[in-house]
Chains A and B, each alone.
Chain A
């Protein structure tokens, strides 16, 4: 069965304004609002269930004033020699969502992104399963590529999520990598 992604109530999705108002000033103001990066559509979700890249992509691709969509999907890497049984992901409910929202807001301003979707799964995952999705929509490709990479680099070092690996050798918490910190620090002025 294919898991279908459905935005849920209480999510932070911002729909572009639609109006039957024909006042030209109001229409111009509405267009400015959509074009202004401070009104970027940001969607953040931490969830146990799988997600559909196709649905997420289609939402991003529908963003007004955008000529570029870049998406990244992180998977549970296979380790044939370790016989991975499961990857367990723990998060800090409330703070994880806030941290992702802050990262997305900073990326939106810095790279003029019009829409950002970040989905992170938690719970027990197995080999090849999807863990994380980061997708951004922007006017041009360079800011979309940079913005998506910025978000992933900050997510890996700032979002409170922890992995525990269960395999044929036992169970162990995954250690943070110094290389991830180096990746994140290159964005600092």
Chain B
């Protein structure tokens, strides 16, 4: 099982802050995104945004990063704090 989190405008657009699903391991962040896109046309469209950032276990990562069962993967738009 992996935990998925969404933040900011992406969370609002998907109307979803978190979900979890079984993982076909081993896989990458890109594989997780591909699986999420199959959920609905809304997910398919929202997760195509090239500006999205990804974090694995609360560290920024890229789409090739390996994901394992028990991991936390977050998707969010470019940050605007400060």
- Which A residues lie at the B interface, using CB under 8 A? 74, 89-92, 94-95, 98-99, 120, 131-132, 152, 155-164, 173-176
Instruction: Find out whether the CB atom of A173 lies under 8 angstroms from the CB atom of B55.
Output: no
Per the bound structure, the CA–CA distance linking A98 and B72 in Å amounts to: 15
Contacts of B60 in A (CB 8 A): 99, 158
Contacts of B77 in A (CB 8 A): 162, 173, 176
Instruction: Find out whether the CB atom of A173 lies under 8 angstroms from the CB atom of B58.
Output: no
Chain B: residues with Cβ within 8 Å of the partner, total of 19
Of the residues A131, A132, A160, A164, contact of B79 by C-beta under 8 Å: A160
- Is B70 an interface residue when CB atoms closer than 8 A count as contact? no
Rounded to whole Å, the gap between the CB of A182 and the closest CB of chain B is 13
Of the residues B5, B58, B59, B79, contact of A156 by C-beta under 8 Å: B79
Contacts of B5 in A (CB 8 A): 92
Most buried by A among B12, B58, B59, B80: B80
